[in-house]
Amino acid sequence: MINRAAAAATARTATLAVAAALGWGTVVSTMVAQESEVEVESEVEVESEVEVESEVEVESEVEVESEVEIEGEADVDTDLVFQDSGAGSPGSDLDRMSLLEGWEIGGSVAGELRGFFESPKYGDQLKHWQPSLILEPEIDWESPSRRHQFSFKPFFRLDFEDSDRTHFDLREAYWRVTGGEWEFGLGFNKVFWGVTESQHLIDIINQDDFVEDIDREDKLGQPMINFKWIKDWGTISMFVLPGFRERTFPDSDGRLWPGLPVSSRAVYESGAEEHHVDFALRYSHTIGEFDFGLYGFHGTGREPRLVLNDTGTELVPHYDIITQGGLDLQWTHDAWLWKLEAMVREGQGDAFGAVAGGFEYTFFQLFDSSADLGILAEWHYDGRDDTAPPTAFQNDLFLGARLALNDTQDTALLAGAIADLDGSGAAIFAEFERRLGNDWFLEFEARVFANAERDPALRAFADDSFATLRLSRHF
């Protein structure tokens, strides 16, 4: 006669051993907890009439079938290995576990103080000091197979002087899935194109966040559908941009605004207005020491024409439908970086072209130290007429230097000047950054506008030279 309680215990022990071997930690702990609550009644009676056939053999050892083999080289999408087979099943527990894995939460909070060296040109503008607070959380997730990624990066600034500089933006809220030779993305994202230092001539996917700074480094998140095809002969990226973001501008009581307040009621060439769907296509590749890209864009231009309203009290942004194409090229040779950006645009007055190019030469391990010093020089030309949005880079020369100490604090300094070769104004800048300990980061920036009254593109900033100090805490 077989004791059924003993057989059940043997089976349960075997099941626990198999679950532990397969890594089902949640299942093992659950079964152990359940077993501790079970009381085996001693009054269980085994009827004598039950005859056990002699052919039935109870194996004392549990054999785990070897048919299930996990190949090390197999491209298994572990996100889909375990299917939910019902409440309490190993599949449902492991699915829940995989969803909880791969998350990273971080970001930064910062305090910033911007100070203007001169009194404002217009009476309603803030005087000298402009304090603000910045919050930039980051939430990232990656699946166990690394095929799926999700990134969520909102941005919030609270400005105590300029109400329009207080703003929220969704920099990234983007899902990406990758295959062997392709990549698909959906959501809000930032995409950067370009190689030059002093101007990003061809960077057209994202709109400028102009209330952050006038250097056009800060961008608004752009809703997009992106498909990328990656081959040995290059990468093709296709973009569908289903929503337009208007450029931000300071309020009338702020600084660094273009002479008059900018209206919030923009005018669009397209009847679909901000709902016009834009398209972009880019091919990029690396051949030896050369990195290059070719692109085309058709849709609502990111640069608005600021048109004076009928009463002469506001500037109204006009957004045109444009077609633009161009290239970026970088040649890396020893300590030299040779850079070129070029583009042709039609849709804003006569068709015109623009180019930015130059070099960066780096002195490595300066004076036998760990520091590197880079010397930069770039020339800018833009052939647009007066009907297109104005630019400060019609015929300009940039000279600068970049110092990286390569120390544990990541200390770096970038300084330079952009001068109009036609004898107009100049813009001088310096940027310094250094890490303090493990979590704190210090940044300093200064911009001075010289002879700005002689340059139509800089005239509005003639009295707005400033310095900014920012202290960030990363978490």
Q: How many helices (H) and strands (E) does the chain have?
A: 3, 21
> According to the model, what pLDDT value does residue 1 have?
44
Secondary structure of 407-454 as H, E, C letters: CCCCCEEEEEEEEECCCCCEEEEEEEEEEECCCEEEEEEEEEEECHHH
Backbone angles phi, psi at 367, to 5 degrees: 55, 40
Distance CA 199, CA 74 (A): 46
Map out the domains of the chain with their CATH numbers: 4-70+89-97 (no CATH), 101-474 (2.40.160.10)
How many residues does the structure list for the chain? 475
Residues 6+ apart with CB under 8 A from 318: 266, 267, 268, 269, 304, 305, 306, 307
Q: Are 28 and 20 in contact (CB under 8 A)?
A: yes
C-alpha angle 384/321/283, rounded to 5°?
85
Distance CA 266, CA 315 (A): 10
**197-226 average pLDDT score:** 96
Question: In the structure, what pLDDT confidence band is assigned to residue 261 with cuts at 50, 70 and 90?
Answer: confident
Which DSSP symbol is given to 59?
Answer: -
Q: How many CB atoms lie within 10 A of CB 338?
A: 17
Q: Return the closest-CA partner of residue 209 out of 265, 240, 262, 171.
A: 171
Q: Tell me the longest C-alpha to C-alpha distance in the chain.
A: 113
- Tokens standing for 389? 């949005």
**pLDDT per residue over 396-444, tens digit each?**
999 999 999 999 999 999 999 999 998 788 999 999 999 999 999 999 9
The number of angstroms, rounded, from the C-alpha of 29 to the middle of its chain's C-alpha atoms is 41
415 burial (CB, 10 Å; 0-12 / 13-18 / 19+) is middle
Q: How many CB atoms lie within 10 A of CB 9?
A: 14
> According to the model, what pLDDT value does residue 212 have?
96
Strand partners, 105: 139
Q: Are 141 and 103 in contact (CB under 8 A)?
A: yes
Distance CA 70, CA 21 (A): 13
Backbone angles phi, psi at 338, to 5 degrees: -100, 130
Question: In the structure, what pLDDT confidence band is assigned to residue 99 with cuts at 50, 70 and 90?
Answer: low
**175-191 average pLDDT score:** 97
Q: Order across the sheet with 315-319: list the strands.
A: 267-268, 315-319, 305-308
Distance CA 373, CA 411 (A): 12
Q: How distant, in Å, are the alpha carbons of 248, 370, 433 from that of 402?
A: 30, 14, 12
Residue 338 has pLDDT above 80, yes or no: yes
Q: Are 110 and 42 in contact (CB under 8 A)?
A: no
**305-327 average pLDDT score:** 95
> According to the model, what pLDDT value does residue 320 have?
98
Cα four-point dihedral sign 341, 343, 348, 351: positive
Identify the residue with better confidence: 290 or 82: 290
Distance CA 393, CA 309 (A): 26
Distance CA 129, CA 111 (A): 13
> According to the model, what pLDDT value does residue 456 have?
82
**pLDDT per residue over 44-90, tens digit each?**
343 444 343 443 343 444 343 444 344 444 444 445 444 444 444 44
**190-207 average pLDDT score:** 96
- Whole-prediction pTM: 0.79
For the chain, how far is it from start to end, CA to CA, in angstroms? 66
Identify the residue with better confidence: 131 or 122: 131
**465-473 average pLDDT score:** 98
Which phi-psi region, left, alpha or beta, contains residue 267 (left: φ > 0; alpha: ψ -120 to 50)? Answer: beta
SS3 183: strand
Element at 372 (helix H, strand E): strand 372-382
- Tokens standing for 317? 């942004």
Strand partners, 432: 413, 444
Identify the residue with better confidence: 424 or 381: 381
**468-475 average pLDDT score:** 97
> According to the model, what pLDDT value does residue 413 have?
98
Question: In the structure, what pLDDT confidence band is assigned to residue 122 with cuts at 50, 70 and 90?
Answer: confident
Residue 453 has pLDDT above 80, yes or no: yes
What percent of the chain has a predicted confidence (pLDDT) above 70? 79
Strand partners, 231: 234
Residue 36 has pLDDT above 60, yes or no: no
Residue 368 has pLDDT above 60, yes or no: yes
**368-385 average pLDDT score:** 97
Residue 127 has pLDDT above 60, yes or no: yes
Residue 12 has pLDDT above 50, yes or no: no
> According to the model, what pLDDT value does residue 257 have?
85
- Tokens standing for 142? 């990656």
Question: In the structure, what pLDDT confidence band is assigned to residue 454 with cuts at 50, 70 and 90?
Answer: confident
